């Protein structure tokens, strides 16, 4: 069938009914069939089980027991930060397990996205450190936890020991506000990290973070920092590369960036600021709409396993929730990573993010985006 020919025929009024109807039907079938497969893909998942998690956790090393049991990996879908995850889940993304943290758990629960976890179905549960599970707001109405703690760590500063001159002073958050290094400082783009660091720097106790005075004080310190900042990003790889090249001398990071750079021989240290670092606990939670609940429990059990724990501590420098994972590491190694086999020690020494409301999050992100844009 020649398209040009038909157009010509139509113009001349010579198009036969049969040909006209045939071409219409072809167009109709074409239209229908283009929408069908996409629709199906949206409504179903592969049945392998899906873990919707932070970038960097979407790796096979954390699923050794899962692979041994099922012979395949679950589907691993990364997100950039909790806001990104919540937006996508609200828009209808289907997964089995996701990865909230203590500071944003209430938002997942408040938006009715989670189902409570039956800990008796997790073989590694008896080894999980109870201090980590007893978080504020982590008990569902049925008495079971929402979140099974998996990783914990700190948000602090990774700095170049050869380029950043401490001048004999203590490590402090002021390092990220040091005008000597203007244009060589990196900061997380996500307010879920940076705003809290700003609160510590401004001396606002986390219990008062939801006051107008706190908003003004934190916004003021963040505005003061902005001219010094080279880039705001949530891309940890970009921060690590910039630290390695010397483009940045200090950057807000998690434990893993310092551990990774050290393992590559870059002279860096993970600061233990005198004001206290920001500490966090994250974990696995099962989504209410999870299509593969059995696989969801296997995903969580795999995350809690000692194999995963050794990888988390040894390669990423994060704390793990399974106490047996720490047995392979000596105290000096753990201290260098900003960790301890007694997590309560670290969690008490640092500043633990409090539970905040969605309204607070909205207001904080609004102010934070304006500060980043220079207002």
Partner 1 sequence: MTQTSSIDPKVTSRPTRTSGRIARLLYRNEGLRGYLLMSPTLIILTVGVIIPFLILLVISFWTRAGVGFDTTPSLANYARVVNEPMFGILLGRSFWMSGIATVATIAICYPMAYFVAFHVHRNKMFWLILITLPFWISYLLRVFAWRVILGYEGVINSSLVWLGWIKAPLEFLLYSPTAVIITLTHAWAAFAILPLYVSLEKIDKSLLVAATDLGDGPVARFFRITLPLSMPGVIAASFLIFIPTTGDYITPALLGGPDGMMIGNLIQAQFGSINNWPMGATLSIILMLWIAAVALAFLYLTRLAQARIA
Task: Report if residue 220 touches partner 1, rule: CB under 8 A.
Answer: no
State CA 203 to chain mean position distance: 26
CB of 11 to partner 1, least distance (A): 6
Q: Which of 56, 60, 130, 183 binds partner 1 (CB under 8 A)?
A: 183
Q: Which of 116, 256, 354, 361 binds partner 1 (CB under 8 A)?
A: 361
Task: Report if residue 250 touches partner 1, rule: CB under 8 A.
Answer: no
Question: Rounded to an integer, what distance in angstroms lies between the CA atom of residue 137 and that of residue 375?
Answer: 35
Q: Which of positions 109-128 make contact with partner 1 (CB under 8 A)? A: 110-111
CB of 6 to partner 1, least distance (A): 9
Query: What six digits make up the tokens of 76?
Result: 């691993």
- Total residues contacting partner 1 by CB under 8 A comes to 46
CB of 375 to partner 1, least distance (A): 4
Q: Which of 4, 17, 39, 40 binds partner 1 (CB under 8 A)?
A: 17
| 46-54, 78-86, 282-290, 335-343 -> range binding partner 1 (CB under 8 A) | 78-86
CB of 2 to partner 1, least distance (A): 15
Q: Which of 83, 118, 127, 210 binds partner 1 (CB under 8 A)?
A: 83
Q: Which of 81, 139, 172, 340 binds partner 1 (CB under 8 A)?
A: 81
Q: Which CB atom, from 120 or from 245, has the smaller least distance to partner 1?
A: 245
Q: Which CB atom, from 93 or from 329, has the smaller least distance to partner 1?
A: 93
Q: Which of 138, 190, 194, 255 binds partner 1 (CB under 8 A)?
A: 190
Query: What six digits make up the tokens of 370?
Result: 């304006």
CB of 366 to partner 1, least distance (A): 5
Task: Report if residue 70 touches partner 1, rule: CB under 8 A.
Answer: no
Task: Report if residue 247 touches partner 1, rule: CB under 8 A.
Answer: yes
Q: What is the dihedral of CA 314, 336, 184, 56, to 10 degrees?
A: 20
Task: Report if residue 67 touches partner 1, rule: CB under 8 A.
Answer: no
Query: What six digits make up the tokens of 182?
Result: 């203007």
Q: Which CB atom, from 98 or from 321, has the smaller least distance to partner 1?
A: 98
Contact 196/351 with Cβ under 8 angstroms? yes
b/e burial code for range 118-146 (CB count within 10 A of at least 16 → b): ebeebebbebbbebbbebeebeeeeeebb
Q: Which of 5, 8, 20, 134 binds partner 1 (CB under 8 A)?
A: 20
Kindly report the three-state secondary structure assignment for every residue of the chain.
Answer: CCHHHHHHHHHHCCCCHHHHHHHHHHHHHHHHHHHHHHHHHHHCCCCCCEEEEECCCCCHHHHHHHHHHHCCCCEEEEECCHHHHHHHHHCCCCCCEECCECCCHHHHHHCCCEECCCHHHCCCHHHECHHHHCCCCCECCCCCECCEEEEEEEEEEEEECCCCCCCCCCCCHHHHHCHHHCCCEEECCCHHHHHHHHHHHHCCCHHHCCCHHHHHHHHHHHHHHHHHEEEECCCHHHHHHHHHHCCCCEEEEEHHHHHHHHHCCCCEEECCCCCCCEEEEEEEEEECCCCCHHHHHHHHHHHHCHHHHHHHHHHHCCEECEHHHHHHCCHHHHHHCCCCCCHHHHHHHCEECCCCCHHHHHHHHHHHHHHHCCC
Task: Report if residue 27 touches partner 1, rule: CB under 8 A.
Answer: yes
Q: Which of 226, 336, 342, 355 binds partner 1 (CB under 8 A)?
A: 226
Task: Report if residue 362 touches partner 1, rule: CB under 8 A.
Answer: yes
Site string for partner 1, 30-59 (x = CB under 8 A): xx----------------------------
Site string for partner 1, 331-360 (x = CB under 8 A): ---------------------------xx-
Task: Report if residue 13 touches partner 1, rule: CB under 8 A.
Answer: yes
Binding-site ranges for partner 1 (CB under 8 A): 10-17, 20, 23-24, 27, 30-31, 81, 83-84, 87, 90, 110-111, 183, 190-191, 226, 229-232, 242, 245-247, 358-359, 361-362, 365-366, 368-370, 372-375
């Amino acid at each position: 069938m020649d398209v040009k020919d038909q157009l010509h025929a139509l113009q001349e009024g010579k198009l036969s009914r049969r040909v006209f109807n045939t071409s219409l039907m072809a167009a109709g079938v074409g239209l229908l069939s283009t929408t069908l497969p996409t629709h199906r893909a949206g409504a179903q998942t592969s049945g392998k089980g899906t873990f919707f998690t932070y970038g960097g956790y979407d790796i096979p090393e954390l699923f050794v027991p899962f692979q041994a049991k099922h012979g395949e990996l679950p589907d691993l879908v990364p997100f950039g930060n909790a806001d990104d995850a919540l937006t996508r889940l609200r828009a209808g993304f289907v997964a089995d397990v996701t990865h909230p943290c203590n500071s944003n758990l209430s938002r997942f629960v408040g938006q009715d996205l989670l189902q409570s976890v039956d800990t008796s179905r997790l073989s590694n549960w008896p080894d999980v450190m109870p201090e980590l599970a007893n978080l504020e707001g982590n008990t569902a109405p049925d008495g079971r936890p929402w979140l099974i703690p998996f990783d914990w760590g700190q948000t602090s500063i990774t700095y170049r020991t050869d380029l950043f001159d401490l001048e004999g002073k203590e490590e402090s958050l002021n390092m990220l506000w040091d005008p000597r290094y203007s244009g060589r400082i990196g900061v997380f783009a996500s307010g879920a990290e940076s705003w809290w660091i700003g609160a510590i720097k401004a001396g606002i106790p986390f219990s008062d973070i939801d006051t107008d005075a706190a908003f003004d004080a934190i916004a003021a310190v963040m505005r003061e920092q902005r001219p010094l900042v080279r880039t705001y990003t949530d891309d940890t790889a970009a921060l690590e590369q910039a630290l390695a090249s010397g483009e940045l001398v200090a950057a807000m990071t998690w434990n893993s960036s310092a551990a990774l750079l050290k393992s590559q021989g870059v002279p860096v240290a993970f600061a233990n600021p005198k004001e206290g670092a920001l500490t966090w606990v994250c974990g696995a939670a099962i989504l209410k709409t999870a299509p593969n609940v059995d696989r969801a429990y296997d995903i969580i059990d795999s995350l809690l396993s000692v194999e995963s724990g050794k990888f988390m501590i040894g390669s990423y420098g994060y704390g793990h929730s399974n106490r047996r994972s720490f047995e392979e590491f000596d105290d000096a190694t753990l201290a260098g990573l900003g960790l301890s086999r007694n997590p309560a020690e670290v969690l008490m020494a640092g500043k633990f993010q409090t539970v905040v409301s969605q309204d607070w999050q909205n207001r904080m992100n609004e102010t934070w985006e304006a500060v980043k844009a220079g207002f």
